Chain A
Amino acid sequence: AQKITQTQPGMFVQEKEAVTLDCTYDTSDQSYGLFWYKQPSSGEMIFLIYQGSYDEQNATEGRYSLNFQKARKSANLVISASQLGDSAMYFCAIGGGSEKLVFGKGTKLTVNP
């Protein structure tokens, strides 16, 4: 079975600073994908970034990057130059051999002006 652990219920960051949201995973699949989603207060789930288990380079999408450490089974999200609009819930998820994604419990990020 797959599992995602997000140990930070809440995080605070000053505007324009970088922040790292932690995510560790457990899986028996050889091939899997790791995903990060953002959920603002409106409720919609917005896909941010994807990392495949065989990708050798860390994924990047604009201000988002994924710090993938396969041996440690971690897939931390790094947001650079935080903006007020980054305040939201962030969910890490893993997908593999099954048809389902498994989500973590999320981290609430607050960006302070």
Chain B
Amino acid sequence: SQTIHQWPATLVQPVGSPLSLECTVEGTSNPNLYWYRQAAGRGLQLLFYSIGIDQISSEVPQNLSASRPQDRQFILSSKKLLLSDSGFYLCAWSVGGNYGYTFGSGTRLTVV
């Protein structure tokens, strides 16, 4: 069966520090991968999605970047965090938009 792992679960980082959030999927190949951010009490904002290695689309201009070093690994990064980067980050995978997503357990990031 397919599983998705996301870590860390919680992170407190100072302003200006780097960020690396990792997401891996097991039990499937060539998944579509997604990074979402959710501000407190708000909806989901799509940040990046990838339909294959070296195929990453950015939805919102920001100081974040995404990489897919392996087929089932998706990494969200920042060189210098801003206060506004605080939020709940969710990774998800899918076989296609019409098939829904399976989400990771999320990372709660607080930038101080």
Q: Which of under 10, 10 to 19, 20 to 34, or 35 or more describes the interface residues of B? A: 20 to 34
Alpha-carbon separation in the docked complex, A44 to B99 (Å): 19
Q: Are the C-beta atoms of A91 and B106 separated by less than 8 Å?
A: no
Chain B residues 31 to 65 lying within 8 A of chain A, measured CB to CB, are 32, 34, 38, 42-44, 46, 49, 51
Alpha-carbon separation in the docked complex, A105 to B43 (Å): 5
Of the residues A44, A100, A105, contact of B49 by C-beta under 8 Å: A100
Chain B residues 83 to 98 lying within 8 A of chain A, measured CB to CB, are 88, 90, 92, 94, 96-98
Of the residues B38, B94, B102, B103, contact of A99 by C-beta under 8 Å: B94
Of the residues B42, B101, B106, contact of A44 by C-beta under 8 Å: B106
Chain B's interface: helix, strand, loop or mixed, by majority? strand
Q: Are the C-beta atoms of B105 and A43 separated by less than 8 Å?
A: yes
Alpha-carbon separation in the docked complex, A33 to B90 (Å): 21
Q: Are the C-beta atoms of A44 and B34 separated by less than 8 Å?
A: no
Chain A residues 33 to 76 lying within 8 A of chain B, measured CB to CB, are 33, 35, 37, 43-45, 47, 50
**Count of A interface residues, CB-CB < 8 Å:** 23
Q: A50-B100, A98-B97 are in contact. Are A45 and B90 (CB under 8 A)?
A: yes
Of the residues A95, A104, A105, A106, contact of B100 by C-beta under 8 Å: A95
Alpha-carbon separation in the docked complex, A43 to B103 (Å): 10
Chain B residues 66 to 112 lying within 8 A of chain A, measured CB to CB, are 88, 90, 92, 94, 96-103, 105-106, 108
Chain A residues near B100 (CB, 8 Å)?
33, 35, 47, 50, 93, 95, 101
Q: Please give the residue numbers on chain A whose beta carbons come within 8 Å of chain B beta carbons, in ascending order.
A: 31-33, 35, 37, 43-45, 47, 50, 91, 93, 95-101, 103-106
19 A-B interface contacts by CB (under 8 A): A33-B98, A35-B100, A43-B88, A43-B106, A43-B108, A44-B103, A44-B105, A44-B106, A45-B90, A47-B100, A47-B101, A95-B96, A99-B32, A99-B49, A99-B51, A100-B46, A103-B44, A104-B43, A106-B43
Q: Please give the residue numbers on chain B whose beta carbons come within 8 Å of chain A beta carbons, in ascending order.
A: 32, 34, 38, 42-44, 46, 49, 51, 88, 90, 92, 94, 96-103, 105-106, 108
